[in-house]
Structure 1
Amino acid sequence: METRARSLVKAVLWQLIGLVSMTLVGLALTGSAAVGGALAAVNSAVGLVCYVIYERLWVHIPWGRRHG
């Protein structure tokens, strides 16, 4: 079982990767670093919350786990 701290660290690192990639996509599509960054920040905040909830829900599902 994963600790909450591990789930949170994984989520933060994943979102940082997403933040950088979304900023670059936003910049490429809009030509504005500010708009691209704002879109990426909102996306990262929503994604972080969803990812943490998703991970914590899966902790309670025994399907596919091996014990011992």
Structure 2
Amino acid sequence: MIAQMLVKSKQKSTYKEDSVGEKPIRSVAKALSWRVVGTLDTLVVSYVLTGRISLAASIASVDFLTKLVLYFFHERIWNAVKWGK
């Protein structure tokens, strides 16, 4: 789904804004930037706990992919919630 959104963004120059004015591609960018920060944290913590950079990198890689997808959907759901706006 994320890959489809990125392909569509290259085909169209703009997305239709949702009801609160944020485009889905913004959620993708936010998810990616946050996952870079989170993955670096996971890499360091995993290395400290295991002492093995290869194992730490494996853990960080899986963590990056799963949490990227989870964050995207979390962000889109919260974007639809009107509470606090």
- For the criterion TM > 0.5, the same-fold answer is yes
Q: Which runs of 4+ in 1 moved over 6 A?
A: none
Tell me the amino acid that sits aligned with residue 29 of structure 1: L
More relative contact order in 1 or in 2 (CA 8 Å, sep 6+)? 1
Percent of aligned pairs with the same amino acid: 32
User: What displacement does 1:61 show?
Assistant: 1.2
Partner SS state of residue 36, structure 2: helix
Query: 1:14 and 1:60 mapped to 2: Cα distance?
Result: 20
Paired residue total? 65
- Over the aligned positions, Cα root-mean-square deviation in angstroms equals 0.9
The superposition leaves residues 24-64 of structure 1 with CA deviations (integer Å, 9 ceiling, x where unpaired) of: 11111111111001101111111111100011111211111
1:48 to 57, 68, 72: 68
Tell me the amino acid that sits aligned with residue 63 of structure 1: W
Structure 1 gap segments, 5+ residues each: none
Partner of 2:25 in structure 1? 5
| TM-score (normalised: structure 2) | 0.72
Structure 2 gap segments, 5+ residues each: 1-20
| TM-score (normalised: structure 1) | 0.88
Partner of 2:51 in structure 1? 31
Partner of 2:6 in structure 1? none
